Amino acid sequence: MEAALYLAAVAMEAAQAQLEAWARLTDEPHWAVVDAADLLDAARAALEGSR
């Protein structure tokens, strides 16, 4: 179970990095990118709460 949580955390960090990189390329990030970042934050909080 711990390995699965670690892999999920790594995947979320990679997705967050990609979203941030894409957002920096634009003056105003698309609303979907902002929503995706918010969902990742919520998922990370839930994941950290399950540890």
| Domain, as residue range, for 24 | 2-49
Under 8 Å between Cβ of 50 and 36: no
CA atoms within 13 A of residue 11's CA, in its CB half-sphere: 8
| pLDDT tens digits along 3-48 | 888 898 899 999 989 988 888 888 888 888 889 889 998 988 988 8
Domain count for the chain: 1
Q: Residue 51 above 70 pLDDT? A: no
- What's the pLDDT at 28? 84
Given this model, what pLDDT does residue 17 score?
Answer: 92
